[in-house]
Amino acid sequence: MVIAISDLVGTYGARVTLVSAVVIVLRFLQEMLKVRLLFYRLRKQGLPMPKWNFAAGNLQMLPDLMKRHPKGSQQSEAFTLLSYDFASSDNCFYIDVWPFTKPLLVVNSPDLAVQACQTYALPKPPVLAKFFNPFAGGPNIFTINGSEWKRNRGLFNPAFSASNILQHTPHIVEEAQEYVEILREHARKGDTFTLDKMTCDYALDIIGRVAMKARLHSQRGRNPVAAALRSQVEWHCQDEQMNPFIRWNPMRPIMQWYNGRTMNQYIGTELDKRYEAWRQSKPSTRPNSIIDIVLAEYMSTRPARATLDPEFKSWATTQLRTFLFAGHDSTAATIVYSIYLLSKHPEILSKVRTEHDEVFGSDISAAAGILKQHPGLINRLPYTLAVIKETLRLFPAASALREGQPGVYLQDKTCTKYPTEGLCIWIIHGGIQRNPNYWPDPHAFKPERWLVGPDHPLYPPKGAWRPFEQGLRDCIGQALALLDVKITLVLTLREFDFQDQYAEWDRLHPRSGPKTVFGERAYQIPQALIVESLETGAFAPCSQLSGAESPSPTTIVSCCCVYSLSESIQSFVVYANLYYGYKQNGYNPIFRCGHYDGKGRIGECISSKGRMGAAVFTTGLYIDMVLSLNTPTTSTLEDGALGGCHWDIAHTNRIKSAEQWLQEADTRGWHTGLGSLRDRVNSLNPVTKLTEDQWTGSTPVSTAKQSYLLLFLDGDSYSVRPPSIHGSGAQISD
């Protein structure tokens, strides 16, 4: 009888599985038929679209399109390039790339953008809510529509008003001073580094301060909410991937849930603090952070309680998560691109510096104090603002999506009507702002566009500048973003000279294929592709600084690195790429030397994470090995810098200390420069720059016949011998 029941259950389960599979396939085919019929009708009407067929839609043209752009660049830039094939329709066209996304009407025309966002005020599509949910955790001011959006926007408008935001100038300046100090440290060392990541941390610190009156300190250390948010960005941007194994990674929902819980717990604690401060203070003395103002507005019609209303707490947490996500990356990108463009145009940089001298005086060190005392001076910088606007024209942070509606048609200058029902309208800000039909010399950096009169050929056309969008749904945080960028430029541009390092990168890492977008080596990418972009010299240019008593610049060619993969796990596996280990474990490295994902950092875990149990060793773009307490032996990757070689791993229980081991290794002549490394490790100073003579005396790391020693300490110590290559490797006995 037991066997019979088991057989019955097994048969039933198989049938359920089969029926479920059939239902999924039928729904897939139904949706496919719906989309293909829609585009069949659009094509019959003669509306613009790339080459299309019923079986694949427009998917067959994507590979050739992507080949015209560098690997890993934003899809919006590829579609902007494609729009030039549709000049007769004002660079607008339909495209069917289902099932990767909903059918699209791609808009690169200011006229059609005005109609979609202002004339008809079309709603945000559900697909946008799906995209934002992992960041926000639920319905938020960015994705909701109708009366609910109006109510929420009304609550936040006073907090985001220009006058209130200006009152936060002292707080922003304080975070900017920390940012400047980190730049000074880089300048003194003369090293090469990526500006994007440290600027993202800086922008997060600003938003935390302004939104929650909380010091995140993510510029100097690992903050839980900042680390969780960055991890969420990296996991979620896999939606940009066409590779289905990456796009639908089963680990992604687990990591998104974990990151979301981390953010909720942190923000919830901060909200409880703000509520208690609200209860204990008088209205005239209450703080003016965004959440303080919203809390006061919310409680104005409700009785005070001992604890914060759970419903409001959940709602406020969602909105704060939205602001942290939407504000930090876009603001950071604008800062980085402004610096990058000014570094390429010294004549424009000179004008900006002159303006700053005129407003704040020639004493650079006094600017921060002046700004704190007189915030209104920041609005007396017309040329600086023109530089920022021109940067946002060339490199807008995002685009806009709207949902088409029955009976709504967008009309171009030729009176062609574009149906919107059943479609997402993708308004590509970069495409509009580089549209040659509206912008003379559209790819040139010309701040003068924003200083000339309406009769001048360079004068910006109406509705064509949309980095913050326009209409009722424009960006609520634009005043804060512009203030952040202006303050940052005031405090950095006169003290530092920035220089991109793409030429050196190309020399060290030659590759074929396109390297620029619209003639620029710096271009936008999805955050999840940051490793690919750095390997091709893309967004977030490596910078070298001079100033702050800087020595002559030293470019790091390649370095060993040691890397802590997590803060709590005690055993590890070999990862194919260092960035993957970073992403998997949500670890935010503090010290860096040249690369966003940690390649080139020396001794970081020794100096900052001494309780962990693993180290990662690399001499190039790939990990050579991972050493942990549970890893007796391992080999290098075949495509690594020392592919095909093996490591010997020696247990050093008998050695009293790593310091003693380093001293002995140094006296044996095993490695020139170990004494310097020993001193740095002993003093717990992070090693973020090692010149060639410190490592080898004469041999560049990238061509050396051995890899180099770093230790990770956790009770018992481990050491790694250099591999023997054709009998030339030195041998050390413990």
Instruction: Tell me which amino acid residue 271 is.
Output: L
Both tokens assigned to 151? 């109510």
Q: What is the DSSP string of 591-621?
A: --SS-TTSTT-BSHHHHH-TT--EEEEESSS
75: Cβ–Cβ under 8 A, 6 or more apart, which residues?
240
- Cβ-contact 400, 429 below 8 angstroms: yes
Tokens of 629: 């307490």
Q: DSSP assignment, residue 495?
A: T
CA distances from 34 to 48, 102, 117, 398 (A): 19, 11, 26, 29
What count of other Cβ atoms lies within 10 Å of the Cβ of residue 30? 10
Q: What is the DSSP string of 676-722?
A: HHHHHHHTT--B----HHHHTSSS-GGG-SS------EESEEEEEEP
Residue 533: other Cβ atoms inside 10 A: 23
Angle at 314 between CA 309 and CA 318, to 5 degrees: 145
Under 8 Å between Cβ of 523 and 516: yes
Q: What backbone phi and psi angles, to 5 degrees, belong to 362?
A: -80, -10
Q: Which residue has the tokens 């019955």?
A: 8
- The Cα 110–Cα 466 span in angstroms is 9
Bridge partners of 411? Answer: 417
Sign of the four-CA dihedral 253, 256, 262, 266: negative
Strand partners, 425: 105, 402
Cα separation of 465 and 385, whole Å?
14
Q: What does the alpha-carbon distance between residue 725 and residue 706 come to, in Å, rounded to a whole number? A: 8
Q: Which residues contact 543 (CB under 8 A, 6 or more apart)?
A: 192, 193, 194, 195, 339, 343, 498, 499, 500, 501
CB within 8 Å of 18: residues ≥ 6 apart: none
d(CA 697, CA 674): 11
Q: Which residues partner with 402 through β-bridges?
A: 425
CA distances from 330 to 172, 203, 220, 445, 468 (A): 16, 9, 21, 19, 10
The candidate with the shortest Cα–Cα distance to 337, out of 540, 197, 172, is 540
- Gap between the Cα atoms of 445 and 341, Å rounded: 8
Do residues 358 and 380 touch, judged by C-beta distance below 8 A? no
For tokens 């094939």, name the residue: 85
Residue 475, annotated as binding a ligand = yes
Residues 6+ apart with CB under 8 A from 448: 386, 458
Q: Could you tell me if 647 and 706 are in contact, meaning their C-beta atoms sit under 8 angstroms apart?
A: no
Name the binding residues. 475
Binding site residue list for heme? 475
